[in-house]
Structure 1
Amino acid sequence: MKHLLCRLAVLLVAMWLAACAPPHARRTDVLFWNQPQREANFRAMETQYASNVVRHGKAHPLPKGAALAPRFDDGQTLDGYMADHHVAGIMVVQDGKVRLERYGLGADATTRWTSFSVAKSFTSTLVGAALRDGAIGSLDDPVTRYIPELVAGAYRDVTVRQLLSMTSGVRWNEDYADPHSDVAMMYEGERKTGVPLLVSYMSKLPREFPAGARWVYKTGETDLIGILVTRATGKSLAAYLAEKIWIPYGMAEDAIWLKDDVDGTEAGGSGVSATLADYARLGQFLLDGGVAAGEPVLAPGWLDAATRTQASIGSPGRGYGYQWWTYDDGSYEGIGIFGQLLHVDPRRHLVIVQLAAWPVATDDAQARDRAAFVQAVNRAVEAR
């Protein structure tokens, strides 16, 4: 017994040290974690990397609604779908009421799970707030008005609007499986005093297409948008998100936003972790017209412009808005690697959230299955 207690004490100390360990220098290591690491760390990113806290307010109620069972057209069950795709949580909110809430992978209602590129849609929404506040003058401002370090490179002729729609024309490789791709290397390089490492990396990228001519998905550009918002407002993304949405709309729990452990720059294109219900509340905030505590948060017309197609992505029925994936039926989505989803459907008054730990960052078959899950929810909604 004494030997067992000693081993237990050593284990507890080791766990405490791991939790208090300094952040890893390379934030993109997450792309190459194995499955046990993903399932353990996606719920505890603040123990792996430096982060800022997004303070919450008094909880906006999400009352229970009539139970909903997704209607898969291939005989699939919800339990089978969640097991097959390593799903940690699913929530369906319609008309402001929770119609489906289910957890897996040991997660529960208090679990804070990372959202990866769903954070892009958070960052976009903060641009809408900064426009209303007058901190950002116009979407047609040059990016260099806010990030002058880019003036010597390919971004010197790029506007804020082109960053938002990912039509800058600057060359980029978003291959998550390639350790030498831009998305894997964007936090690497020599640091310059006062200049975020990401800005130094992006300033060296060459032009591939004329600005505004072609859409190419680039996580690094959303990080630039995050830096732009921070400089325009004089506030961290976490503080601005808390001030504009998390506190006044009434998120129930603190969120976190990952940052560089040296220069403090938050990752506008990734890095937000929140609970399943608070992701759903963000979707409901948008369905409510971007109003919090009775006051409009976003610039007039922002929500409509951000969530409709601004750039063609070469896929029938789909497009890209301002950091949102858009659909011809009026719905829009924030999508993150490894299976994350925030689906908002104004026509059906519907929000769908999925949190997961797919075995690979992106996969066409898993993406099709996720889309089939959304359709299964839609069929169940329409059958009532």
Structure 2
Amino acid sequence: MKWIRRLLGVVVSIVTLVACFAIWVAEPWSDQRPMRTWPETLSTQILGGEDRASLATTFRNWDKDVPFDRLAAAPRPHAFERALQPLDVQSIRYEFQGANRSISEYLTRAKAQGILALHGGQVVLEDYRGETTSESRYHLWSASKSFTGTIIGMALHEGVIHSLDDPVEKYAKQFEGTAYGEASIRHVMMMSSGVDFFHFKGFPERNWMYFRIFRLHQNLDDFAGELGRRVPDGTDFNYLATDTHVLSGVLRGAYGLRFVDIVQDRLWDRLGIGGDATWSQNVPGSSGVAFGHCCLAARLIDFAHLGEFYLQNGIWNGHQLVPDGWVELAGSPNADFQEPTPDSSGYAMQFWVPRGYDGEFYGAGAFGQYLWIDMKRKVVVAQLAAQAPQDLDERERDAAFRAIASAAQSR
């Protein structure tokens, strides 16, 4: 009988521990609802074919879902003029795989929530779907990387960062003696850190990372610092969330400021970005560390505003804010392994490069967030969406955006 009592005691202890762990994971006391089941919630929505409207609602209300810090509208905001005769999404047409479609049809196929185009400093196209409006702060996902990368250029111009060939650890002391610490800033910008981590497959991969930072509220610096080396930096392309987060650590160390304060001063205030925004971090309050790779939530016009800065070659209100040649450096492949292939887009420095690029590059975030910059036609196209990978071939996106750019240039 004693052994039965001991066995029951062990069973009760195990059940109690499991129950406590389940409660801790669920965090029923937390107001941050989707993150209680991260990444299962979003995975179910995408892979299970859940109504994309529900996904869009999540993205419009991201500041209710995770800890964040605030960005305030610039005290002297830049106001984009509206074209007197804007483009019509019904009249612009594009061709893809033998089909001729309107941009209105494209927006439906892309599960788009909003699209906006700039040309000549004017808004020449603007269209919203569902409950998304011009004032919605929408989660941009990895398109946030392009904002982080832009500030690296500003820091280089200011001399706060001396060279892109400096090692990460020169500025970000938390990475001293790590695989990231020895990598050059240039190679991390190129998604060529050589660190042993994977975005789409292998282990460790991003779902494990997101569990650590969203469920365990771990500082992403610590997670990145644990990663080992896979290959020498600068030898291949491997798209990683941690690469861009490490760049935000370089900026924090170089400026001696919290990341969101750097974004506020260098981008929001200096460029006159006119809307409030949020940037997610691991825990609430001033002790939180923002995710440099992800999770800026901003209005569509403020998303497009970054593209206009690039169209102006990094000059704003007569002031050069990035080094000469930065736009070409940031928007063009820097090595053969970054060039586009028949199967995929290429990469540059925190921007993607489309197949058949001709002065075009783009920021991209999961679920269809895009910032398309066409330097030749001087057009920016910004898109918000709630799409799954299976919803649209990215080559169709390229055809649609090129049609918009051509129509804008021809006005």
- Both proteins in one fold, TM over 0.5: yes
The alpha carbon displacement at 1:286 in A equals: 1.6
Query: Partner of 2:188 in structure 1?
Result: 163
Indicate yes or no: 2:31 matched with 1:21. yes
Q: Matched residues in 1 for 2:159 and 2:248: separation?
A: 16
Q: Is 1:149 aligned to 2:174, yes or no?
A: yes
Aligned to 1:343: 372
Q: CA deviation at 1:28?
A: 5.1
Give the superposition deviation at 1:249: 2.1
Deviation of the 1:71 alpha carbon: 1.6
The residue aligned with 1:352 is 381
Partners in 2 of 1:323 and 1:353 — Cα distance?
16
- State which of 79, 90, 112 in structure 2 corresponds to 1:61: 79
Are residues 1:211 and 2:230 paired?
no
The answer on 1:32 being equivalent to 2:43 is yes
Could you say if the C-alpha distance between residues 98 and 246 of structure 1 is closer, same or farther in structure 2, counting changes exceeding 3 Å?
A: same
Larger deviation, residues 81-90 vs 60-69: 60-69
Tell me which of 271, 275, 285 is aligned to 2:295: 271
Percent sequence identity over matched residues? 27
Most deviating of 129-138 and 181-190 = 181-190
Unaligned runs of 5+ in 1: 1-17
Quote the residue 1:8 is aligned against: none
1:91 and 2:108 matched:
no
Amino acid aligned to 2:234:
G
SS in 2 for 1:278: helix
**C-alpha distance in structure 2 between counterparts of 1:293 and 1:67, whole Å:** 25
Does the CA contact (< 8 Å) of 2:116 and 2:123 recur in 1?
yes
- 318-327 vs 114-123, which deviates more? 318-327
The correspondence of residues 163-242 of structure 1 with structure 2, limited to 5 A, is 163-175=188-200, 182-189=205-212, 197-242=219-264
In structure 1, how many angstroms separate the alpha carbons of the residues matched to 2:353 and 2:32?
A: 39
Residue 203 (structure 1) shift: 2.4
Distance 1:67 1:223 in 2: 38
Structure 2: gaps of 5 or more residues: 1-27, 46-51
Where 1:72 maps in the other structure, the secondary structure is: strand
2:128 counterpart of 1:103:
yes
Structure 2 distance, partners of 1:159, 1:306, is 16
Match of 1:10 in 2: none
Q: Which moved more, 1:152-161 or 1:90-99?
A: 152-161
Change (3 A) 1:125 1:28: farther
In the TM superposition, residue 154 of structure 1 has moved relative to its aligned partner by: 2.5
CA distance in 1, matches of 2:254, 2:129: 40
The Cα shift of 1:22 comes to 4.8
Q: Is the 8 A contact 1:27 1:49 kept in 2?
A: no
Moved more, 149-158 or 126-135: 149-158
What residue is the counterpart of 2:66 in the other structure? 49
1:54-91 C-alpha deviation (Å, 9 max, x unpaired): 12223312222232242222232333222222211000
Distance 2:37 2:339 in 1: 33
Q: Map of 1:2-13 to 2, 5 A cutoff?
A: none
> Take 1:379 and 1:234, find their aligned partners in 2: how far apart are those partners?
44
Q: Distance in 1 between matches of 2:37 and 2:323?
A: 36
Distance 1:203 1:31 in 2: 27
> How far has the Cα of 1:280 moved from its partner?
1.5
Q: 1:372 aligns with which of 361, 383, 399?
A: 399
AA at the equivalent of 1:273: A
- Aligned residue type for 1:21: D
Per-residue deviation, residues 259-318 of structure 1 (Å, max 9, x unmatched) = 111651111111111111111222112212223343222234333322221133352495
TM-score (norm 1): 0.85
Q: Is the 8 A contact 2:380 2:405 kept in 1?
A: no
Tell me how large the CA RMSD over aligned residues is.
2.8
The answer for the alignment partner of 1:309 in structure 2 is 333
Q: CA deviation at 1:27?
A: 6.7
Contact 2:118 2:124 in 1 (8 A): yes
Say which one has the larger Rg.
2
Name the SS for the 1:170 alignment partner. Answer: coil
- Aligned pair count? 359
In structure 2, do the counterparts of structure 1 residues 159 and 31 end up closer, same or farther at CA, with 3 Å as the change threshold?
Answer: farther
Q: Determine which of 242, 245, 257 is the counterpart of 2:267.
A: 245
Taking the aligned partners of 2:38 and 2:243, their CA distance within structure 1 comes to 16
Q: What secondary structure, in the 3-state scheme, does the structure 1 residue paired with 2:141 have?
A: coil
Q: TM-score, normalised by structure 2?
A: 0.79
**Structure-2 residue corresponding to 1:76:** 101
Whichever residue aligns with residue 372 of structure 1, its letter is A
String of CA shifts for 1:234-280, please: whole Å, max 9, x gaps.
22332222212212322221111111116511111111111111112
Amino acid at match of 1:268: G
Question: Measured at CA, do residues 225 and 299 of structure 1 come closer, stay the same or move farther in structure 2, by a change above 3 Å?
Answer: same
**Residue 320 of structure 2 aligns with which residue?**
296
d(CA) in 2 for partners of 1:274, 1:146: 29
